[in-house]
A and B are shown apart, each in its own frame.
Chain A
Amino acid sequence: MEAKKIGCYICTGCGIGEALNVAALEKIATKEQKLPVTRTHPFLCGAEGLQMIRDDMANEGVNALLIAACSHRVKTDEFERFNTPLLDRVDLRDKSLWVQDISSGNKEAKEDLQMMASDYLRMGSVKLKKMNAPDPFQDDGFSRDVLVVGGGIAGLTAAKEVAATGYRAILVEKSAELGGMVGRMHKVSPTMPPYRVLEENPVPGLVATVEGESRIKIYKNATIQSTKGAPGLFDVEIKNGDTVHTERVGSIILTTGYNLYEASKLDARLGYGSSPDVVTSLEFEEMAKAGQLVRKSDGKPAKRVMFSLCAGQRDANHLEYCSAACCTYSLKQALYVLEQFQDGAAFMLFQEMRTPGQMEEFYRRVQEEGGVIIKGDVEQVSKGASGGLSVQIHDKLLRGKESVDVDLLVLATGMISTVDTQDPNKPSPVGQVAEETAKSVLNLEYRQGRSMPELKWGFPDSHFICFPYETRRTGIYAAGPARRPMGIAETVTDATGAALKAIQVVEAVAKGAAVHPRSGDLSYPSFRREGCTQCKRCTEECPFGAINEDEKGNPLFNPTRCRRCGTCMGACPQKIISFANYSVDMIGSMIKEVEVPPADDEKPRILVFACVNDAIPALDMVGQKRSALSTYIRIVPLRCMGSMNLVWIADAMSSGFDGILLMGCRHGDDYQCHNVRGSALAEIRLSKVSETLNRLQLESSRVKMVEVNIMDADQLPTIINEFAEQIGSMDLNPYKEF
């Protein structure tokens, strides 16, 4: 690549020109940073300003742009469409001018702002100097085919949608027939307006479509023996009887559906097993399909039927969670009774009636037909006076014990995961083969273990707030009840979404680009092999399991699995992992570029590491609200707190910073970190920082980490200013003099 020629463009609009000594900034760019081209413009984002930049790129050979204007989150259409990957935005406005109160005309306040702007310009300049254009990862063997595991309604929908988009799908089903659970149903709850009528089972039609589609290859009676590789390069061994077929695929959709909680494990009070007239909802479904809505005990018509909408769900002794679909499922079955018998009665015994999406309409329909709801629990089931059952309930609406005579009691048992998952905090040791379990699905040959990282209750982790389709194994998308319990309408939507994600990833991989959350990022980590001490921190900490190991314990990067968060870079004690455009050296150099005033000036400096996903937007909002922040702070955006390398803390302290504030996302059970584990890992690393500080004979309270949510703009001034006050009240960092 040709030599880098940096052009620095300082905007003087939005009040920047009046508040700052722009000539002094230009001098920093030209004299101190020795940038070959430096220009100012009163309206840089206007047509004329942008043309000035384009002219320089055409005529002066400028190929790297340092744009000193507003936050990198605004004016992206204007400033990020130049034909160069080498670009940095210096924020002179949102996080500088707008958070400093200079209205009083106070000379010192103006000076402080000038120092802040100068430091940001220096940091941007050195960042751009250290930045290289990423060279996207390419491989000749990329496949664009999509593997779909599980041939129920979710898998059938996903395969159909993949094929309809023009891609090839490979569908693997462990049983002899396609169709899954929904295939066994009599009718299905509504999936389309007006959401009031039972629909014919869509599965037979769907099976015919999928079986007749030339772009879909189907393996029945087949399981996945192993899954090796990475997005674009997955090699999957499909075991079909004694034969093993190997397929290369680009991405995988996991649609293994659900198992039902075993009714025999339920509390005795529900009466399952004590009478043939207590049945599960699946058994009732099969009775309806066979046209046999009768008491199993004596064959008389089952006209009065009670449905227990929670049968073990939301019960700490059975399933702690709501299984989401059982209320709708039971309403549907109530309608079987009410439609078949003029004098039928259906009782829905619920804890909370949960009818997600448009199912409220269906609930209304069932009530119109005469379905009766009862809030309460079954306490005891005994034989009824005229056959059938007498169910004693605790009725929370009538406020007492009541007994109800019914012909059948139907237990809507809950959904349990079919995906083998593992505690994400305990990756299995190298080479360990997971125990053969009934649930084993993909058998990943990943250093981090053969199963999927778990979110909760055995379901695979997905970024449930922002990116629900994504799992923590790039290119593998769980959809339908394999991801979390859900009903049919939701499953169809979910499977369609997963099909699109599976196509998106193979296309991104072909370009060498990342998927969520750094979509389009062409960089990927590389490491200096000779510096590696085989400590395995990178392989263990990568939230996405992107790194394997060779026999010696050296990392083996799978660039197409990588989400470019930089957690490996932050983890590496040897500082040998870097990206072309993001490295330990780059951030370290930016820190060293800040001009720390001598101790006599009594102007402390606080380094703020802020996550670009949440903390930086929140800080921009602080600026938009014109709230004042301490003049001591210097903000360094990080891709993710996970990329925070402890050496920066030591660098900052030895360069004379007085305090360090880290702003990461919420972690823990309800994490908000875009990279799932980044902020949690940063906190773990920080817990070890006191050693470093003690070695330097500094107080550990100089370094603080806070969780910042994107909505925290109102709290940030307090958080930052209180920390600044605390640092201000301490002695200055004695290393300033060195």
Chain B
Amino acid sequence: MAYDLSFAQDVYKNSEMGHWIKMCKQCGVCAGSCPLGPHWEYSPRQLFQLVRGGKKEEVLKSQSMWMCTSCYNCIVRCPRGLPITHIVHGLARYASVKGYADPNQVTNRFATKIFWTNIVSTGRVGEAMLTMRLYFVDGLAAGIQRGLEMKDSALGMLMTKRLNPIPFRGKIKGYAGFAAMIAKAQELEAKREAGA
């Protein structure tokens, strides 16, 4: 039976910004605004209706919420003011917590491993190392090929001082405070998710 609301109610409660899903009026402006729209299995509005329709498996197994590049076009345009980017990220996290997310899914791997390690170890993003890790995510050969493809852009960025080739070493000023903040956030999140 469709439209069993227990799944939707759990998402409203336990997925970050999930309560906004009930406010979607299915106009489709988000789907039309998304630069990756054609590549989504479900557009944001479809994803939201699936949540309301009680289609738990379809939602949580979907690749859709991993497709968001955080361009924020949908947030800017949503006539109902839904923070769509955040809702979608929330759903991705919710799927991970519920054990549905594939840890080898490339976005998942990038977000939870590469990006996370990069930022948490130093307290800031080190672009050069982050880019390099991303390029070599599929192995050495693919990494070299990608690097060669992008060398003109990289040189241009170096020339205009938009890229520092020397990886950031050490830690930011006040790293201890940063680490405490992260630890507290993780503690709160774990508590919330344990309660779910």
- Segment 1-45 of B: residues with Cβ below 8 Å from A: 1-3, 5, 8, 22-23, 25-26
Q: Is the CB of B23 within 8 A of A364?
A: yes
* B25, A367: Cβ atoms closer than 8 Å: yes
Question: Among the listed A345, A364, A373, A404, which residue makes an inter-chain contact with B26, where contact means beta carbons less than 8 Å apart?
Answer: A373
* B116 CB, min distance to chain A CBs, angstroms: 35
Contact of B22 among A347, A370, A374, A403 (CB under 8 A): A370
- Check if A397 is an interface residue, CB within 8 A of chain B: yes
B55 within 8 A of A: yes
State whether the Cβ of A402 lies closer than 8 Å to any Cβ in chain B.
yes
CB contacts (< 8 Å) of A368 on chain B: these are: 22-23
Q: Which of B46-54, B92-100, B126-134, B154-162 contacts A (4 or more CB under 8 A)?
A: B46-54
* Per-position 1/0 for A383-411, Cβ under 8 A of B: 00000001000010110001111000000
For chain A, the count of residues having a C-beta within 8 Å of the partner chain is 20
Taking A364-B23, A395-B53, A398-B53 as contacts, is the C-beta distance between A374 and B3 under 8 angstroms? yes
Report whether B26 and A398 are in contact in the complex, using a CB–CB cutoff of 8 Å: no
User: A345 is contacted by which of B1, B2, B5, B49 (Cβ under 8 Å)?
Assistant: B5
Q: Which residue of B lies closest to A369 (CB)?
A: B22
Residues of A within 8 A of B80 (CB): 364
- Per-position contact with A for B59-98: 1 when CB-CB < 8 Å, else 0? 0000000000000000000001000000000000000000
* A682–B8 alpha-carbon span in the complex (Å): 63
Tell me which of A353, A364, A403 contacts B2 (CB under 8 A).
Answer: A403
Chain A residue, CB-CB nearest to B55: A398
Minimum CB–CB distance for A385 against chain B, Å? 9
Query: Do A353 and B25 touch (CB < 8 A)?
Result: yes
Q: How far is the CA of A367 from the CA of B20 in the complex (A)?
A: 10
Q: Which residues of chain B have C-beta atoms less than 8 A from A398's C-beta?
A: 2, 49-50, 53, 55
Q: Which residues of chain B are within 8 angstroms of A524 by Cβ–Cβ distance?
A: none
How far apart sit A198 and B5, CA to CA, in the bound complex (Å)?
Answer: 25
Task: Tell me the complex Cα distance, A404–B5, Å.
Answer: 11
**Residues of chain A contacted by B53 (CB below 8 angstroms):** 395, 397-398, 402
> Whose C-beta in chain B lies nearest to the C-beta of A347?
B3
Q: Does A372 make an interface contact (CB < 8 A)?
A: yes
Known: A397-B46, A398-B53. A405 touches B1 (CB 8 A): yes
Q: Is the CB of B26 within 8 A of A397?
A: yes
The interface residues of chain B lying within 8 Å CB-to-CB of A404 are: 1-3
Minimum distance in angstroms from A274 CB to a CB of chain B: 20
Complex Cα–Cα for A166 and B50 (A): 59
Q: In the bound complex, how far is the Cα of B23 from the Cα of A363, in angstroms?
A: 10
A367–B24 Cα distance when bound, in Å, is: 8
Would you give the shortest CB distance from B11 to chain A, in whole angstroms?
A: 13
When chains A and B are docked, how far (Å) is the Cα of A390 from the Cα of B49?
A: 20
Contact A397 B49 (CB under 8 A): yes
Interface residues of A in 604-631 (CB under 8 A from B): none
Q: How many B residues, CB 8 Å from partner?
A: 16
CA distance A637 to B2 in the complex (A): 66
Point out the residues of chain A lying under 8 angstroms from B22, CB to CB. 367-368, 370, 372
For B50, list chain A residues within 8 Å (CB).
Answer: 398
* Minimum C-beta distance from B31 to chain A (A): 12
How distant is the Cα of A403 from the Cα of B5 in the complex, in angstroms?
Answer: 14
**Which residues of A sit under 8 angstroms from B5, Cβ to Cβ?**
345, 370, 372
Assembled-state Cα–Cα distance A375/B3 (Å)? 13
User: A348-372 interface mask toward B, CB cutoff 8 Å, 1 = contact, 0 = none?
Assistant: 0000010000000001100110101
Chain B residues lying within 8 Å of A363, measured Cβ to Cβ, are: 25
In the complex the two chains form, is B23's CB within 8 Å of A402's CB?
no
CA distance A625 to B182 in the complex (A): 67
Q: Chain B contacts of A367 at CB under 8 A?
A: 22-23, 25
Which A residues lie within 8 Å of B2 (CB)? 395, 398, 402-404
Complex CA–CA separation, A131 to B8 (angstroms): 77
The reply to whether A372 and B3 form a contact with Cβ atoms under 8 Å apart is yes
Q: How far is the CA of A373 from the CA of B3 in the complex (A)?
A: 10
**Complex interface: chain B residues within 8 A of A397 (CB):** 26, 46, 49, 53
**CB within 8 Å of B: which A138-157 residues:** none
CB distance from A644 to the nearest CB of B (A): 48
Distance in Å: Cβ of B50 to nearest Cβ of chain A: 7
Q: Write out, one digit per residue, whether chain A residues 316-350 have a CB within 8 A of any chain B CB (1) or not (0).
A: 00000000000000000000000000000101000
A405 vs B53: C-alpha distance in the bound complex, in angstroms? 12
**Chain A nearest Cβ from B28, distance in angstroms:** 10
Q: How far is the CA of A345 from the CA of B80 in the complex (A)?
A: 22
Most buried by A among B2, B5, B50: B2
Closest to B9 in A: A370
Interface residues of B in 146-190 (CB under 8 A from A): none
Task: Give A367 to B22 CA distance when docked, in angstroms.
Answer: 6
The distance from the CB of B144 to the nearest CB of chain A, in whole angstroms, is: 44
B residues near A403, Cβ cutoff 8 Å: 1-2
Kindly list chain A residues whose C-beta atoms are within 8 Å of the C-beta of B55. 398
Tell me the A536-561 residues at the B interface (CB within 8 Å).
none
Please name all residues of chain A whose beta carbon is closer than 8 Å to the beta carbon of B52 when the two chains form the complex. Answer: 372
CB-CB under 8 A from B26, the residues of chain A are 373, 375, 397
Residues of A within 8 A of B1 (CB): 390, 403-405
Asked if residues A373 and B23 are in contact (CB atoms below 8 Å), the reply is: no
- C-alpha gap A375/B53 in the complex (Å): 12
Considering only CB atoms, which chain B residue lies closest to A343 in the complex? B5
CB proximity of B32 to chain A, nearest CB, Å: 16
Given A345-B3, A367-B23, A397-B53, 12 more pairs with CB closer than 8 A? A363-B25, A364-B23, A364-B80, A367-B22, A372-B3, A373-B26, A390-B1, A398-B49, A398-B55, A402-B2, A403-B2, A405-B1
Interface CB pairs A-B, < 8 A, 10? A364-B23, A364-B80, A367-B23, A372-B3, A375-B26, A390-B1, A398-B53, A402-B53, A403-B1, A404-B2
The 4 closest A-B pairs by CB, nearest first: A402-B2, A397-B49, A404-B3, A398-B53
